[in-house]
Amino acid sequence: DAGVIQSPRHEVTEMGQEVTLRCKPISGHDYLFWYRQTMMRGLELLIYFNNNVPIDDSGMPEDRFSAKMPNASFSTLKIQPSEPRDSAVYFCASRSGYSNQPQHFGDGTRLSIL
Amino acid sequence: AQSVTQPDIHITVSEGASLELRCNYSYGATPYLFWYVQSPGQGLQLLLKYFSGDTLVQGIKGFEAEFKRSQSSFNLRKPSVHWSDAAEYFCAVGAGNNDMRFGAGTRLTVKP
């Protein structure tokens, strides 16, 4: 079975540009999570969705960040405008059912803002 | 809210030696506990999980972990480490509020 699919795997762009990260969760999973991983702060939860509805976005660092889930098989995380401090690895994860079930992670998008 | 601590940032073991990675959690009720492994350039892969029942759980790749409520611990063990086990290991604690907290990770180096 296909796992969580993220694209692109790597993104290098200049400060001020819009960045869009994409995620396809595992089919049938009703929860989707976006994380950011940096050396300084470790793994941080940015936002999560349940049945395509955003439930908790308290981890989104600023208004420059936005996330959508237009349907059960696709989500985007957008940064506009991007800044060098946004450089990190961004992970998408999905889960089925209750919180005692594990999250399944994609391979991440390594984002570099110059 | 729950929290998790991994006291060891970096551990080095010789190939063939036993391994124990420490994880301590803080949560008022019985938590849901997970260990993940992350290889360079990859996402987190689930090794094992615990949420009820037998306190000694078996996972993939020969790993096991033991839940000790009295010590608020969920340490990961492997009797004989292989060079391919070199990676970063994350302990995570979840609760009914869908909020999963990850530890800072322990980087494992395996000496030949």
Q: Any residues with CB less than 8 A from the CB of B97 and at least 6 apart, and which?
A: A99, B1
Q: Hey, is the C-beta of A56 within 8 angstroms of any chain B C-beta?
A: yes
- B34 to chain A: nearest residue by CA? A102
Q: Hey, is the C-beta of A70 within 8 angstroms of any chain B C-beta?
A: no
Q: What is the mean pLDDT of residues A58-79?
A: 95
Q: What confidence score (pLDDT) does residue A1 get?
A: 64
Q: Return d(Cα A71, Cα A28) in angstroms, integer.
A: 12
- Is residue A98 very low, low, confident or very high in pLDDT (cuts 50, 70, 90)? confident
Residue type, B45: Q
Does the pLDDT at position A105 exceed 70? yes
Cα B55–chain centre separation:
14
Q: What confidence score (pLDDT) does residue A106 get?
A: 96
Q: Is the torsion defined by CA of A62, A100, B28, B38 positive or negative?
A: negative
Q: What confidence score (pLDDT) does residue B59 get?
A: 97
Strands (E), chain B: 3-5, 10-14, 19-21, 24-26, 32-38, 44-50, 56-58, 64-68, 73-78, 87-94, 101-102, 106-111
8 Å CB contact of B90 and A56: no
8 Å CB contact of B44 and A105: yes
CA-to-CA separations, A82 to A10, A32, A86, A109, A114, in angstroms, rounded: 15, 23, 7, 15, 9
CA distance A20 to chain B (A): 19
CA distance A40 to chain B (A): 10
Give the number of other Cβ atoms within 10 Å of residue A50's Cβ: 14
* pLDDT tens-digit map of B19-43: 999 999 998 777 899 999 999 888 9
Q: What confidence score (pLDDT) does residue B99 get?
A: 74
8 Å CB contact of A107 and B42: yes
Query: Which of B3, B44, B45 best probes binding to A when mutated, by most A CB atoms within 10 angstroms?
Result: B44
Q: Return d(Cα B32, Cα B8) in angstroms, integer.
A: 21
